[in-house]
Amino acid sequence: MEILERNALIKSAITFICFLVTICFCEAQEKYFVLDDEHSSYDIKSYTLDTKDLYALNSKVEIFNIFPKYKTNTRDNREIILFSVLPEVTSMKLWEKIDLAEIVVDTISFKDLLAIKQLSLYELYSGTYDEHNKFFNKYKLVVKRNGQHYAAYNTLLQFYALRDKPDIFNSVWGTINTEQTPVSLKSVADYYKSIKCDFPLLSYFERYSTFDRLRDRKEFLSRKIKIGNLNAYQFWSLTDWHMPSHAYEVDRGIDRFVYIPGKGIVGGSFDFYFYYHRNIINLSMAKFRDNIYSERVMIVNGLLEGSD
């Protein structure tokens, strides 16, 4: 009897372990979103950024602003779904050729993408929300070029709500609000220094932070500028570094960025990614820190000059 009971327990344990392995595999499985340049439900604005000046890496970053279109026009231009394609740091490549037939089971629709957006931007009154609302290499972007499909080596997916409101209203995490009173990164750093607290943006040194992340993280408008004859708005993100050293700090996302109404995000920085690979790319820590305090970004060259 004891042998039978022991065998039953072993069998149950093996079954449970197999179940966990299956779940973990499914959760880790990459999904794909195939960008359709002629899709009727969204518009696309894409830009290419040079990484050389900011990260001393001779490569590119491609960013894709997707603007959902709805049956009710009043809902248009209120959200950005942002895909950022980051280089593989050894080969410098951004894309690899792919056969759509091989990924059809793992391909999500635009409707699926909108569902992810709703949870990421806290749009459902009945929703249960996760702290993490940015995704790195969980959803890979696929594009069609010269008759061939290509999948990104590295894809960052994140979402923004476009909500212009005066300061009396709160701008929660994931909000682009161009009516905020500009607040520079240095002024907030000085505030933390005045109250003898560590500045959250510098917590990459020790990966320890007391920052009240869920309550206080925010995209601050830093300054208003002109690019060509267009009004542009530069933002920086107040959040910390809290992940262990072996993991990407994905929640930082595109932590500094430039936004132009109607054009989308036209420049930015991806400190979470290039800092992780700092030893491979020989990134200077002095320059990295200076990039933060100076709010430096990669930005599209000459694309918008003379625009309407």
Which amino acid type is present at position 195?
A: I
Strand partners, 256: 236, 269
Length of the chain (residues): 308
Residue 79 CA to residue 76 CA, distance in Å, equals 8
28 within domain boundaries? yes
C-alpha–C-alpha distance, residues 300 and 263, integer Å:
12
Residue 292: inside a domain:
yes
Q: Would you state the pLDDT for residue 303? A: 53
Give how many domains the chain has, as a whole number: 1
Report whether 80 contacts 159 (CB < 8 A): yes
Residue-level pLDDT at 132? 86
Main-chain phi, psi angles of 288, to 5 degrees: -60, -45
- Angle (nearest 5°) at CA 33 between 154 and 175: 75
- In the chain, what is the straight-line distance between the N-terminal and C-terminal CA atoms, in Å? 84
CA dist 33 and 48 (Å) reads 19
Higher-confidence residue: 211 or 194?
Answer: 194
Q: Is residue 304 part of a domain?
A: no
Would 132 be classed as within a structural domain?
Answer: yes
pLDDT in tens, 143-166: 999 999 999 999 999 999 999 999
**Residue predicted with more confidence, 127 or 114:** 114
- Kindly tell me if the per-residue pLDDT of 23 is higher than 50: no
Q: What is the pLDDT of residues 230-265, one digit of tens each?
A: 999 999 999 999 998 899 999 999 999 999 999 999
Is 305 within a domain? no
Determine, yes or no, domain membership for 308: no
The residue behind tokens 């933390």 is: 192
Which tens digits make up the pLDDT trace of 87-113? 999 999 999 999 999 999 999 999 999
Digit-coded pLDDT (tens) for 274-306:
999 999 999 999 999 999 999 999 999 765 443
Task: Give me the phi and psi of 270, to 5 degrees please.
Answer: -130, 65
Q: Phi-psi region for residue 52, left (φ > 0), alpha (ψ -120 to 50) or beta? A: alpha
pTM greater than 0.75 = yes
| H or E segment and range at residue 12 | helix 2-28
SS3 119: helix
CB-side exposure of 296: number of CA atoms within 13 Å? 16
Give the rounded distance of the alpha carbon of 20 from its chain centre. Answer: 29
Provide the residue range defining the domain that includes 79. Answer: 2-299
Please give the mean pLDDT across all residues of the chain: 88
Residue 307 lies in a domain: no
Give every CB contact of residue 268 below 8 A, 6+ residues apart in sequence: 49, 63, 84, 254, 255, 256, 257, 258, 297, 298
Whether residue 149 contacts residue 187, with contact meaning beta carbons closer than 8 Å, is answered with no
Q: Is residue 188's pLDDT more than 60?
A: yes
In this structure, is residue 12 part of a structural domain? yes
